[in-house]
Amino acid sequence: MKRKIIQSEKRDTSAGRLQQSGQKPKDLNVHARSQWQWTWTNMFLLSLCIFSASIPFLLHIFSASIDLSRPSDIGLNHTINMYLTPEQGVRVGVWHTVPEHRWKEAQGKDLDWYEKALGDGSPIFIYLHGNGGNRSAPHRIGIANVLSAVGYHVLVMDYRGFGDSTGEPTEAGLTTDAVYLYHWVKARSGNSLVCVWGHSLGSGVTTNTAVKLLEQGKQFDGIILEGAFLTGRVARDQRMEHPFTWFYWKFPYIQFYLFNPLKNNILVFPTDENLQKLQTPLMILHSEDDHLIPIAIAQEIYRTAKKAQNSDKRVKLVTFDGSLGYLHNGLYKDSGLPNIIREFVESLMT
């Protein structure tokens, strides 16, 4: 009985407070739910930010645990590992993946077979990856698999100082490594097309390499730039429009600083200046939601290259809708990418 009286008194007291404040019990419930919704929403967004920030770390841990000399350990059963020596004291690791239709034939084959396979007439892509990590990063394997499925050879190199490659990474050194790989491929490829695909930091290495080859009277048959930037300074300092802008703005161009051998070196990579010297067919790929390099940079690259080559046909810009969620590294997931690549390569043959 006493307990009932106390509860009744509490109800009366609460009702009095509600009457004084002008609030109804239902209003309080709505307010409480609103507070909980606000709290959970913020907790969710914070967790999402933390997860997004941890992705580079998780990818680094994953790739660092792989024996790069054994690509078959991660399912690359038509890929061989090799080491090249672009300069004395420098050894760079390279994966060569043959066209998918030759995967059965490739089983158990040695390096000599893979070298001879480069002369089978299939187009060849040299893939120059972005900063941080190594050639086993999932998005790099993804691009190699797409190119192989279309019917092309793919050579993915870890620059000096990256992965299991030796040497001190510098802008000049990375360019030297790429130039060497081009000549190594050309010495074995016969009349096959030799193209280059540069992603992120690799786009700067690509245009540096293309200009260096031009000085030697050589050139790639085609160039693809994915997630490219204009200069190293733009890539590090450009503010990003993205739900997690605050994170990337607080830690500018995070990939240049996180697990990146180049982080203590001065970088220039004058892509804008390089493009003004080139007449090589070029395709630019960029996701509209790229959280590291804004789509506006790709559009500026397109205008620069188009003006230099004075051609709508030799320079193409292909953008991917931001709703697809590809960000900076996910274009390999697009189902339409194989046809986009195939059409570009076929245009080089006409």
Kindly list the catalytic residues. Answer: 200, 290, 328
What tokens appear for 87 in the block?
Answer: 């300069």
Amino acid at 221: D
Contact 222, 281 (CB under 8 A): yes
Give bridge partners of residue 317 from the DSSP assignment.
284
Which H helix or E strand runs over 320? strand 315-320
**Side-chain half-sphere exposure of 189, counting CA atoms within 13 A:** 24
* Alpha carbons 207 and 144: distance in angstroms, whole number: 20
Taking the CA atoms of residue 98, residue 102, residue 107 and residue 113 in that order, the dihedral angle to the nearest 10 degrees is -60
CA atoms within 13 A of residue 200's CA, in its CB half-sphere: 21
Torsion of CA 33, 34, 40, 44, to 10 degrees: 140
Give the C-alpha separation, 249 to 263, whole Å.
17
Please say whether the beta carbons of 206 and 178 come within 8 A. yes
Q: Residues 174, 160: contact at Cβ < 8 Å? A: yes
Q: Which of 132, 141, 127 is nearest to 255 (CA)?
A: 132
Q: DSSP per residue over 157-177, as a string?
A: EPPTTSTT--S---HHHHHHH
The amino acid at residue 246 is W
Q: Is there a contact between 148 and 154 (Cβ–Cβ < 8 Å)?
A: yes
Rounded to whole angstroms, how far apart are CA atoms 327 and 286? 9
